[in-house]
Structure 1
Amino acid sequence: MPTDASFSVPEIPFTSMADLRAACLSLPERNRTCGNRIRQRDAVLTKPPGSLGRLEELALWLGEWQGTERPTLDKVQITIFAGNHGVVQRGVSPWPSEVTCQMVANFEHGGAAINQLARNAEANLNVVCLQNLQATEDLSQTAAMTEDGFLSAVSDGYRAVSKDADLFCAGEMGIGNTTPAAALCAALLGGSGSDWAGRGTGLDDKGVQLKAAVIDDALTLHGSAMSDPLEVARCLGGYELAAIMGSVLAARHHGIPVLLDGFVCTAAMLPLVKIAPEVLDHTRLSHCSAEAGHRKLAKALALVPLLDFGLRLGEASGAALAIPLLRGAIACHNGMATFAEAAVSQKSDSPTE
């Protein structure tokens, strides 16, 4: 949990952009005391120093944000945020918008990939539909969301995080949502539509060119908003991207580590990062998506993926796959014997002759 005694969780829902901006700038820190104890224990476990590689760092990360020297993953939450996009009418996806609703039903009946992966990871899975799946406006013609609609989605995401979770993973479902994700990247990291547009759910070369042109139209239309990251998120984003942003912010305020998923989830973080660069310290990137731009985006945010399996499904599938890795890190840290307990001799500090 947060260690700063002066920190207070903001009131929800957010009623103004100023309230949201203040919440982005009020961030509790990791528990460094627990971190020091984790390092001390790691130093005397029966293994050469650093021999478990990133597993050691993951155990440290989990413990510092959970506020314990013996991290656990008893309560893992995966939440899929679902939303629709008016920009789909421009032909940026080969799939119709009604598939979003149909896939939500599939999630609820246990038939999707994420249902199987969440079960395998021993994680609780739930779905949050934003704005009753009413589509945003076409971001290439007007702002995607009103201020009230944007703040409502951020607040819905914030409320969706269970305060007693040991780990939070956000996923998304929204036909056409790689277009607003790419638009956010272009607006906040630079470049044009062609630098960030990818195939999404199966566009051909002509479709990718159209998608890039739509993004360029949006960038031109909303040029006056580019200096304000929250306005960029409102004008170019989507309801589920806003909710993901709110959920990751909530996890930070509640002291919960987060596994980020693919391109859309990572792009949703950009407005937060532009306001407070340290806002993602409690997160790790689960995987590098096959969607064009994700590797470049991850590099820009200094996020090193845990997996690289060529996934491009969304749904928090990459995050769910990475959960067993975290369980392995915890099992080693918590369960291994120390040199003293196992009566194993330690490395000599004397130089060899």
Structure 2
Amino acid sequence: MAPDPLRSATTTDDTAAIGRLGAVLAARGRPGPVALGPHGPHLVTSVADTRRVLTDAEVFRFPVDVTRRATTGEHAMVARLRPEQVARGTRTFEAELSRATTGWDGGGADDAMEVLRLPVARSTTDAVLGPLETMCRDHVADLVLDWVDSLAPIIAATRPPRRWSRARREERRARTALERSLEDLRVEQPTVSAVELAAGVQVPIAAGAWLLVLLAQHPQAAAAARRHDLAVEVAWETLRLRPPTWVTARMTARSVSLERGTLPAHAVVLVSPLLLGHLPDLLPSGSAGPEVFDPQRWVGGDVRPGSWLPFGAGPHACPGRSLGLAQLTALARWAADRHVVLTEPARIDQTRGIFPSPALLRCGAVPSSPEE
């Protein structure tokens, strides 16, 4: 079996697991909450504590919003996408993916993060706001991508940029343009919808890029998935090993007792689906180890996929989880008809969640055997 892709995806040593990613992974097997520094943040390490942090909104508050500004702890609720919205978005994704990858097959290398931008943005816009005229949909999708791009330096900065910095001004311009466009469409809550669209675009792009990278890194697993039509299982295994929102934070409103240990008031608490996904108890009995990319583990297993909470839990769980999973499944089916090859090592970028940078891939005909 292949080694842990968290370590093998970047270099021959362990430099993949550095920084906060390394600190979180080092807490595997330790009873939480684990203090990652002298004064925190505190990482919870069990499913029970993670679910408590995510579902008890009265005690565990959001410390900042998507722009890294302090919040009051109040967040507008976003309804989960309905089945017809998911179906519409999936159809759009499949059509846009076919269009975006026309020149990829048999051609040169391209970055999966770039290739997936328009298919994900347009399909998510169609699902959330549609049905829309194509020109209108594409315009909104472009504005969403513009805001996502403007948020990148803010999220990646060591400290939140100052109010009148260039990064803040650019983010404000992009966000305002998107919200005004949503107002023109008579969207009921343009500010909330803007956040929903941004999250529903950035996360699936990163997850989709990881899916292709993992298949390229593990040709035998890719061949097995192709033989047994394991597109859904490939999607779940990708979300286990590479959840783009791999860690998220809350702040305690008061002192609180968890399954093991007590946290003081105003403490920063981290939860990590990536950490939970490496717990052996959350995998089907008898399956490969937690570090192995093995979609077949979810075929007839005694543990349901998703127990590591890749989409969160409680009132603020991801409203687009059904669409995100459908997009990944459609991408896995697309990849099953191709031989996906990495042209250079994919490095783990931790600046905005985790995503492969670069994710340079070449696609070609499926070889006659996995070893070719």
**Structure 1 length as normaliser, TM-score?**
0.26
Does 1 or 2 have the higher relative contact order (CA < 8 Å, sep 6+)? 2
**Structure 2 length as normaliser, TM-score?**
0.25
